Structure 1
Amino acid sequence: MTTENVAGAAQPASEHVITTGEYITHHLHHNASHLQNGPIDFSVIHYDTIFWSVLLAAITSIVLIAAARRVTTGVPGRFQGFVEMIVEMVEDQSKAIVHGNRAFIAPLALTVFIWVILMNSMDFLPVDLFATIFRALGIHNAEGHEPFFRVVPTADLNGTMGMSLVVLFFMLYYNIKIKGVGGFVHELFNAPFGSHPALWPANFGLNLIEFAAKTVSLAMRLFGNMFAGELIFLLIALLGAQWVGFTTQSVLLSGLHIFAGSIWAVFHILIVLLQAFIFMMLTLVYLGQAHEGH
């Protein structure tokens, strides 16, 4: 089974015909500084994840700034009304979860919500869009193929883990700000089992595990859902690669390609919005817990 019709124009018979596995592998590789050495390699930089994350963060800022500048006291327009609806939803959630000063937390949650939606929505672009653009511009890597380039930052564990680490930073910040250094350290060693010195190691270890679990699960949840969605789009795209003419098999597979792609795209809209909402809600929950003591 080949995918030359998905990856682009059919290749000459003398050239290597890309296989299904090679097609998927190519689309799941990042534009990185170098190949990863081992399961964990902190020296690798994913340029595509950084580029799209920063670009979409800038777009998020522009949208929110434009909405703030266009606020009127009269009847709001469609854009203002849409943004106000999102702001009120986030404000209501933050008010119910965070019992304290929300002057920074509510805007943070709003920014995270819109930012993650935009990053997730990159999954709706055609899987071979940039491969086609690179081919048209004559851009290729050392092997003569289109460069590795992934456009969904949240389908990269490095991207979601970076976001989770920022949430962890604010969790620690608000714990210290609200409770003080002494109060936070006291809570680390005296909760949840009690203040007896014999229980201090267990309390401290459990609290470290809790902070680590929150951070890792927050990153893995978003990454897992978006990575799976991206992979399913690739598998559906392969159905359209089987066109060899107006044969019964080609027509059936192409029809299945269009049907499955349309159904999954509609369903994926819910995933995109739901995962952004969950990430925002968990951010609020974790920061709200930092305002409370055991």
Structure 2
Amino acid sequence: MASENPTSSEYISHHLSNLTFGNHPTEGWTFAGGEKAAEMGFWAINVDTMFFSILMGMVFIWLFRKVADSVTSDVPGNLQNFIESVIEFVDSNVKSIFHHKNPVIAPLALTVFVWIFLMNSLKLIPVDFIPYIAGEMGIPYWKIVPTTDINATMGMSISVFFLIIFYSIKVKGVSGFAAELSLQPLGKYFIPFNLFLEVVNLLAKPISLGLRLFGNMYAGEIIFILIALLPFWAQWVLSVPWAIFHILVITLQAFIFMVLTIVYLAMAHDEH
């Protein structure tokens, strides 16, 4: 950090800042955080978000591939039982919500649920542990929870939004999709009003999807950071119950993102 004895505001600001790589107006291409990172503009990359997002994606692929390669029809191990339970849980949700034929939806839902859960679970690591190690290695900023970065959550939600548009056009055609946006709910005599309502409704889906996940994870991160500012004895009294409660939040937010993804894609396939 900038000082050995930071104030509370400096401590909070530091832990909420990403390590960003971009083109600074005065320093050129560089790594920075905080206000300097904001000055780099839109095309800057949050390196820590990318690192942990990719890392958790690799953990997901490795874990499921490991189970797939060693799957047995005899008495399965605990890991196989757990992975099969996750797959059955996701599959049952897909079948109950999505009533069309599309081989992409179930794998997509599984990926969304497990990947977001793994990224969220990094929040359970003590807030000073990884930043301290990074600081000893000369890295000034190192934020470890990708879902507390709005760039990550909005990136995922915009990807879902593109799939909504893609399948809406693929299933209904350009004319059918245009009619859906312009002729509902009040008919052909109110096309401008219909178009306004439907476009707002369409754009609200990715915005609410991304902001919901970001807001819940960001708020939880702030609570952990505030607890870390308390005396050592108070940290244990408060952090352990909050971490236990947050296991539910972590799982619930991954589940909500998955369910809404399935719902939105089911709506894209519906003719009415």
TM norm structure 1:
0.83
- Secondary structure, in 3 states, of the residue corresponding to 1:33? strand
In structure 1, what is the Cα distance between the partners aligned to 2:170 and 2:71? 33
Q: Is 2:205 the counterpart of 1:228?
A: no
Give the structure 1 partner of residue 29 of structure 2: none
* RMSD (CA atoms): 1.8
Residue 226 of structure 1 aligns with an amino acid whose one-letter code is: M
CA distance in 2, matches of 1:212, 1:182: 19
* 1:159 corresponds to: 152
Alignment correspondent of 2:142 = 149
Partner of 1:178 in structure 2?
A: 171
Paired AA for residue 168 in structure 1: F
Indicate how the Cα distance of structure 1 residues 135 and 179 shifts in structure 2: closer, same or farther if over 3 A, else same: closer
Q: Decide whether the 8 Å contact of 2:148 with 2:214 is kept in 1.
A: yes
TM-superposed CA distance for 1:84, in Å, is: 0.8
1:257 corresponding residue in structure 2: 235
Structure 2 equivalent of residue 57 of structure 1: 57
Do the aligned partners of residues 16 and 256 (structure 1) sit closer, same or farther apart at CA in structure 2, a change above 3 Å counting? closer
Shift of 1:201: 1.4
Contact 1:124 1:265 in 2 (8 A): yes
Are the counterparts in 2 of residues 174 and 291 from structure 1 also a CA contact under 8 Å?
yes
Q: Would the alpha carbon gap of residues 32 and 136 (structure 1) be closer, same or farther in structure 2, given more than 3 Å must change? A: closer
TM-aligned CA deviation for residue 284 of structure 1: 0.6
State how far apart, in whole Å, the 2-side matches of 1:181 and 1:234 are: 49
Q: After TM superposition, give the deviation of residue 199 of structure 1 in Å.
A: 1.4
d(CA) in 1 for partners of 2:183 and 2:133?
A: 59
**CA apart distance, 1:213:** 0.6
Is the 2:134–2:142 contact (alpha carbons within 8 Å) kept by the matching residues of 1? no
Does the aligned pair in 2 maintain the 1:56–1:119 contact within 8 Å? yes
| 1:191 counterpart letter in structure 2 | Q
| Counterpart check, 1:218 vs 2:209 | yes
1:17 aligns with 2:14: no
- 2:91 aligned partner, one-letter code: E
More strand by share: 2
For 1:4, the equivalent position in structure 2 comes to: none
> Partner residue of 2:27?
none
Show structure 1 runs of 5+ residues with no match: 1-6, 8-14, 141-146, 241-253
1:167·1:283 contact (CA, 8 Å) conserved in 2?
yes
Instruction: Report the TM-score when normalising by structure 2.
Output: 0.90
1:291 to 2:269 alignment: yes
Secondary structure in 1 aligned to 2:71? Answer: coil
How far off is 1:75 after superposition?
A: 2.6
Amino acid at match of 1:223: F
Q: Distance in 1 between matches of 2:181 and 2:80?
A: 44
Question: 1:189-219: CA deviations, max 9, x gaps?
Answer: 112221x2x3111222212111111110000
The answer to whether the Cα contact below 8 Å between 1:87 and 1:110 also exists between their aligned partners in 2 is yes
For 1:42, what is the secondary structure of its paired residue? coil
Q: Deviations over 1:111-155 (max 9, x none)?
A: 110000110011111111123213433x15xxxxxx111110000
**Is 1:36 the equivalent of 2:25?**
no
Corresponding residue number in structure 2 for 1:143:
none
Structure 2 matches for 1:181-192, cutoff 5 A? 181-192=174-185
Q: Any idea what SS the aligned residue of 2:127 has?
A: coil
Segment of structure 1 superposing worse, 206-215 or 264-273: 206-215
The answer to whether structure 1 residue 200 and structure 2 residue 188 are counterparts is no
Count of aligned residue pairs for this structure pair:
258
**Which has the higher mean CA deviation after the structures are superposed, 277-286 or 55-64?**
55-64
CA offsets, 1:38-74, max 9 Å, x none? 9xx4222211111111111121112222222222222
With a CA cutoff of 8 Å and minimum separation of 6, indicate the structure with the bigger relative contact order. Answer: 1
